[in-house]
Amino acid sequence: MINVRELAKRATETRAEERLGRQISLPWAAAVNIAIRNVTIRLGRAAITASGVVLGIAFLSYIWTAKVCQDAIEHDLARKARIAEIEQKAAEGQVIVPGAEEAAEEAQARAARQSWLVVMSLLVCAVGISNSMLMSVTERFREIGTMKCLGALDSFIVRIFLVEALLIGLLGSVVGVVLGHLGGLLMYSWRAGWDLPAKISWPAMLTYLAASVVIGAVIALLAAILPAVRAAQMPAAAALRSEI
C-alpha cells in the first residue's frame, strides 16, 4: 500500500534551489515532438491541409519540369538546325537562319504565361493552407487554453502550430514535386522521345525541384502564421470556454 500522505509531501515539495529560477521555455525538440504527434494523430485533417500544398507544388514542379524539358528539346533542335545549316552552307555556300528570332519571342511569351500560372497556383495553394490551418486551430481552442493554463506563452502556441505547418508543408511539397515532376517528364518524353531524360539538364532540374519543396514549405509556414498568432493571442479563459 502506498503511503499517500508521504507521496503527497514528496510530490509537492518545493525544490526551488534545483529549479532554473524564473524561466519558462518550450525547447524546439519538444515542440517538434508535440507537432509530430498532432500531425500523426489527426492524419485526416493533416492530409486535407497537405493536399492543398500537394496540388500547388505539383503544378509548380510540373511547369518547371516542362520548362527544363522544352529547353532541352529546343537545344536539341537548335543543334540539329545548326548541323543542317553547316551542311547546307558546305553544300551551297549560303547562310540561312530559319526563324531564330521568332522562336526566341515565342519562348519568352510562353515563360511569361507560365510565371502567371505559377503565381496563381501558389496563391490558391496559400489560401487553401491558411483555410485548413484556421480550421485545425479553431478545433483546438480548448487545447490552446489548457496549454496556457499550464504555463505556455503565446509564442509556444505559435511555435507548435508553425512546426506543424512546416511538417505538413514539407511532406505535401515532396509528394507534390514527385507527382508534378514525373507527370511532366512522362508527358514530354512521350512527345519528344523516350531518350529525353538523357538530354535534359539534371542540375537545372534538381535545382528547380528543390526550389519547389522550399517554396511549398515556406508558403505553408506563411499561411499558418496568421491563424496561429490569432489563436495564441486569445485570452486563456475565452479559449477554454469554446465548445467544440
Partner 1 sequence: MAKIKCDKCSKEIETWGVVTVCPDCGADLQDQVREAERVTVAKAAEMVKDESATTHEFIVRTRGLTKVYKMGEVEVPALRGVDLDIRRGEYLSIMGPSGSGKSTLFNMIGGLDKPSSGSCFIDEVDLAQLTAFELAWLRCRKIGYIFQTFNLIPVMTALENVTLPMIFAGMSSDEMLERGRMLLELVGLGDRLNHKPFELSGGQQQRVAIARALANSPSIILADEPTGNLDLVTGKEIIALLKELNVGSGVTIISATHDLKMIDVSDRVVHIRDGQIERIERRSEIELQVGRLGEEEAG
Task: Check if the beta carbon of residue 209 is closer than 8 Å to that of residue 61.
Answer: yes
User: Looking at beta carbons only, is 21 or 203 nearer to partner 1?
Assistant: 21
Please count the CA atoms within 13 angstroms of the CA of 146 that sit on its side-chain side.
Answer: 5
Please count the CA atoms within 13 angstroms of the CA of 242 that sit on its side-chain side.
Answer: 17
**Whole-number minimum distance, CB 181 to partner 1, in Å?**
34
User: Looking at beta carbons only, is 30 or 226 nearer to partner 1?
Assistant: 30
**Whole-number minimum distance, CB 22 to partner 1, in Å?**
6
User: Looking at beta carbons only, is 25 or 94 nearer to partner 1?
Assistant: 25
The three cell numbers of residue 226 are 496568421
User: Looking at beta carbons only, is 174 or 239 nearer to partner 1?
Assistant: 239
**Whole-number minimum distance, CB 190 to partner 1, in Å?**
45
User: Looking at beta carbons only, is 46 or 118 nearer to partner 1?
Assistant: 46
**Whole-number minimum distance, CB 53 to partner 1, in Å?**
22
**Whole-number minimum distance, CB 8 to partner 1, in Å?**
3
**Whole-number minimum distance, CB 136 to partner 1, in Å?**
12
Task: Give the interface with partner 1 as residue ranges (CB under 8 A).
Answer: 2, 4-15, 19-20, 22-27, 30, 37-38, 41-42, 142-143, 145-154, 156, 235-238, 240
The three cell numbers of residue 110 are 510562353
Please count the CA atoms within 13 angstroms of the CA of 135 that sit on its side-chain side.
Answer: 11
Q: Cell 511555435 maps to which residue?
A: 159
User: Looking at beta carbons only, is 123 or 237 nearer to partner 1?
Assistant: 237
Task: Check if the beta carbon of residue 139 is closer than 8 Å to that of residue 244.
Answer: yes
Task: Check if the beta carbon of residue 180 is closer than 8 Å to that of residue 212.
Answer: yes
How big is the CA angle at 22 (ends 17 and 26), to the nearest 5 degrees?
110
**Whole-number minimum distance, CB 229 to partner 1, in Å?**
14
Task: Check if the beta carbon of residue 47 is closer than 8 Å to that of residue 175.
Answer: no
User: Looking at beta carbons only, is 18 or 101 nearer to partner 1?
Assistant: 18
Q: How many CB atoms lie within 10 A of CB 113?
A: 11
Task: Check if the beta carbon of residue 179 is closer than 8 Å to that of residue 58.
Answer: yes
